[in-house]
Amino acid sequence: MLLYIAVAAVIEYASAIKQHSSVVYAINAGGATAVDKTLGITYESDLDSEGKSSVPGTSATSTMKIDRAPAAYQTIFQTERYAAEDFSYTIDTPADGVYTMVLRFAEHYWTRSGAKIFDVKLDNAVDVVGDLDIYDVAGRFVAHDELVQFSIKDKQIVHDGQTHTVGKTFTVDFVKGAEDNPKICAILLVKGSKADALALAPLDELAAPEPDAPEVDVDEYNDDEDFVDDSGDADGLDSDSDSTGEKEDEAEDDQTGVPIIPVIFAILAAFGIGQIRNQL
């Protein structure tokens, strides 16, 4: 019985770590092993004790739900590694061909643009992502992928007009930029084009915001001297069919009425003149 349980456990573990044939490298930065059983992709662990990044930095985990991240990928985007200095991961150089690296991010902390800006390079020589501001491009607690397609040919990385010679391994470098610290949630390297990589790096559509009642900034109107509510309606809306029509009708009624006050003055004036003549 014990032997059967042990064999079953080994089989289950082996099936869990079986990697998709197109995946060259996958790591869950700052977190435990994560498995997408549907696509057959295993993101290896990156625990502090394993020392897989060039500098320990800090591993962190958020408990907040990450928008756009499918249920199976919540843990990948909830974990991260960051450092107050440059840090990197080392990858075995694959055979010649076209590859796409998926750099997976989610901003957990900052709530404004310009607070965290950094760069990403390959082997500390090939620029692939510059001045990345995760919040600016995605927002907070929203999954965001940067896809980098490059080629390996005769031990050289070729990307966007740049060529760099590598050895048996190369690094993915997260370079401290103008603001705060570089970070990464996960790295996925796929053999193939960006289209091939997208099929193995699913993201949901951005969730629509909850419908709220329209907000009216009362102070905006009270402080605006140029805003004049001349309709007489409480909501400040001008309706051509209602208010304008009623005003025109009132104007027409006033024009058809007899001018009473001028008539009275005319009578009094005539009466006064008659009295003066009688006295003369």
Domain boundaries, the chain: 2-200, 220-279
Instruction: For residues 118 and 106, give the distance between their C-alpha atoms in angstroms, rounded to a whole number.
Output: 14
pLDDT at residue number 27: 98
Summarised one tens digit per residue, pLDDT across range 38-54 is: 999 999 999 999 999 99
Which of the residue ranges 16-25, 121-130, 232-241 has the most confident prediction, judged by mean pLDDT? 121-130
Q: Which residue, among 172, 171, 180, 170, has the nearest Cα to 82 in the 3D structure?
A: 180
Evaluate if residue 5 carries a pLDDT over 70: no
CA angle 168, 181, 123 (to 5 degrees): 15
Question: What is the three-state SS of 39-102?
Answer: CCEEEECCCHHHCCECCCCEEEECCCCCECCCHHHHHHHHEEEECCCCEEEEEECCCCEEEEEE
27 three-state secondary structure? strand
pLDDT at residue number 166: 98
Q: What percent of the chain has pLDDT above 90?
A: 66
* Banded model confidence at residue 57, pLDDT cuts 50, 70, 90: very high
Summarised one tens digit per residue, pLDDT across range 122-175 is: 999 999 999 999 999 999 999 999 999 999 999 999 999 999 999 999 999 999
Global confidence as pTM:
0.71
CATH number 2.60.120.380 is the correct assignment for the domain at 2-200: no
Evaluate if residue 219 carries a pLDDT over 90: no
Q: Which residue, among 24, 36, 31, 57, has the nearest Cα to 46 in the 3D structure?
A: 31
For the chain, the 3-state helix, strand and coil shares in percent, each to the nearest 5, are 30, 35, 40
* Banded model confidence at residue 208, pLDDT cuts 50, 70, 90: confident
pLDDT at residue number 58: 97
pLDDT, the chain, mean: 80
Evaluate if residue 14 carries a pLDDT over 80: no
Tell me the mean pLDDT in the region 65-91: 98
Write down the H helix ranges in the chain. Answer: 2-17, 74-78, 134-138, 194-200, 218-222, 245-256, 260-279
Q: Pick the residue with more confidence: 235 or 121?
A: 121
Summarised one tens digit per residue, pLDDT across range 178-205 is: 999 999 999 999 999 999 999 999 999 9
pLDDT at residue number 3: 52
Tell me the mean pLDDT in the region 101-127: 98
pLDDT at residue number 277: 45
* Banded model confidence at residue 2, pLDDT cuts 50, 70, 90: low
